[in-house]
């Protein structure tokens, strides 16, 4: 069986992995680390929860350690682009864990927090920068950061950046990174637009797939309940009151709907909180921290959280509203059944949403099992 030491990683990284309790690489890590160490471009399909962050972060750290030099002021040696600030923060936390036995400087740039501390990090020079496209462009236009000396570029969750409308920003950023670079692109799905972007950006890439495209984890039991639109809140309350949904993530389509669902749950005596784009970053951080600690059993979110939060022990994901983009369904339900656990995904589908359901089933290549309310949880 492959272990991290057999992959040829530097001793400080192996020590950090051992301290963190990681011994055996996941399939995507075993596939991706050797070619990235060798300097190859990689185009990978990897769903959330597969260990993708370590798959690119560990070999990037190794390559920077193998070519030791101080990053010049207002530059970064490696850039990791992320679609959301939650995911950027999550990636940065993971990279810092792996880099704890090194002197490499890891920093973030994303919205919702003050810019001056980010500018201060850039002024000192950054080895690995994790950024969202919008905030990064703000810093670039203000002269805070330049990509002229960036050696490695990573696009993580590329399909989500497409869904969120960041493609023009991404292409603007990529155009300012040196042509002679290593480029890594990871995506849970590979729609034609992403594949076309990869062909433009990557040079003779190695194609990897940790799991079949557009599938969901085998351990996720997927259910659909057909319900009148006006009865969705009552249905959700009934499901939650049965007591078997101990840690639940509920997805709504809009910020207003998220807050309205929380209000309805509170009135029903079910503790819940919401997280969405109108919340400040400190508010979102406090809410997530409380949910992780078991402060309340239900978190209601818009798709801004579908890729950006890493939550262990989720028993259920509920699609209160179906997503407009079918690929988003894969990312939503992928929040459960992580780290070898099982999970249940429940979709509440009203009559006007039937076309969205058909699009999801077409993407998955299967029909979701229909449940009556009394059999849903």
Do residues 133 and 241 both lie within one domain? no
Query: In terms of residue numbers, what domain contains 233?
Result: 220-375
Mean pLDDT, 10 residues at a time, over the chain (377 residues)? 85 92 87 96 81 93 95 98 88 93 96 92 97 96 97 92 86 95 90 89 90 56 93 94 86 92 96 87 86 92 68 87 85 71 88 94 88 62
Do residues 169 and 293 both lie within one domain? no
Do residues 45 and 154 both lie within one domain? yes
Do residues 178 and 226 both lie within one domain? no
Do residues 227 and 272 both lie within one domain? yes
Distances (CA, A) of 172 to 110, 179, 275, 284: 17, 13, 29, 29
Residue 215 counted as domain residue:
no
Q: In sequence order, what are the beta bridge partners of 317?
A: 249, 345
- Domain limit, last residue, from 209, 231, 259: 209
Do residues 49 and 136 both lie within one domain? yes
pLDDT of residue 309: 65
pLDDT of residue 377: 47
69: left (phi over 0), alpha (psi -120 to 50) or beta: beta
Do residues 34 and 64 both lie within one domain? yes
pLDDT of residue 218: 60
- Domain limit, last residue, from 181, 209, 237: 209
Rounded CA-CA distance 122/127 in Å is: 10
- Domain limit, last residue, from 156, 179, 209: 209
Rounded CA-CA distance 324/3 in Å is: 41
Angle between helices 167-174 and 192-201 (to 10 degrees): 10
Do residues 117 and 260 both lie within one domain? no
Rounded to a whole number, what is the distance in angstroms from the first to the last CA of the chain? 38
Do residues 171 and 268 both lie within one domain? no
Do residues 271 and 167 both lie within one domain? no
Rounded CA-CA distance 216/154 in Å is: 24
SS3 99: coil
Residue 214 counted as domain residue:
no
Residue 146 counted as domain residue:
yes
Residue 127 counted as domain residue:
yes
228: CATH: 3.40.50.300
| Structural tokens at position 143 | 């002269």
Do residues 270 and 346 both lie within one domain? yes
Residue 34 counted as domain residue:
yes
Residue 69 counted as domain residue:
yes
């Amino acid at each position: 069986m492959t272990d991290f030491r057999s992959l040829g990683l530097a001793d400080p990284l192996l020590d950090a992995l051992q301290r963190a309790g990681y011994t055996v690489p996941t399939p995507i890590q075993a596939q991706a680390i050797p070619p990235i160490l060798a300097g190859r471009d990689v185009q990978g399909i990897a769903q959330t929860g597969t260990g993708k962050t370590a798959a690119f972060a560990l070999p990037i750290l190794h390559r920077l350690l193998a070519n030791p030099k101080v990053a010049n002021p207002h530059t970064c040696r490696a850039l990791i682009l992320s679609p959301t600030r939650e995911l950027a923060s999550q990636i940065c936390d993971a990279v810092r864990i792996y880099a704890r036995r090194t002197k490499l400087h890891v920093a973030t740039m994303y919205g919702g927090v003050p810019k001056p501390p980010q500018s201060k990090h850039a002024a000192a020079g950054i080895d690995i920068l994790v950024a969202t496209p919008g905030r990064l462009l703000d810093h670039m236009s203000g002269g805070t950061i330049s990509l002229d000396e960036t050696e490695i570029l990573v696009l993580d969750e590329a399909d989500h950046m497409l869904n969120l409308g960041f493609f023009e920003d991404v292409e603007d950023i990529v155009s300012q990174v040196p042509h002679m670079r290593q480029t890594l692109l990871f995506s849970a799905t590979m729609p034609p637009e992403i594949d076309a972007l990869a062909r433009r950006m990557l040079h003779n890439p190695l194609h990897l797939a940790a799991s079949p495209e557009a599938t969901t984890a085998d351990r996720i039991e997927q259910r659909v309940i057909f319900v009148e639109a006006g009865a969705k809140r009552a249905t959700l309350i009934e499901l939650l009151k049965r007591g078997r949904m101990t840690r639940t993530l509920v997805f709504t389509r809009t910020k207003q709907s998220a807050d309205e669902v929380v209000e309805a749950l509170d009135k029903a005596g079910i503790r819940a909180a919401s997280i969405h784009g109108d919340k400040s970053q400190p508010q979102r951080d406090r809410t997530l921290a409380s949910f992780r600690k078991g402060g309340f059993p239900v978190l209601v979110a818009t798709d801004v959280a579908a890729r950006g939060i890493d939550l262990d022990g989720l028993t259920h994901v509920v699609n209160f509203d179906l997503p407009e983009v079918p690929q988003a369904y894969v990312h939503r339900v992928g929040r459960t059944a992580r780290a070898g656990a099982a999970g249940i995904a429940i979709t509440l589908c009203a009559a006007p949403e039937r076309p969205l359901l058909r699009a999801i089933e077409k993407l998955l290549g299967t029909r979701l099992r229909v449940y009556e309310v009394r059999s849903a949880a």
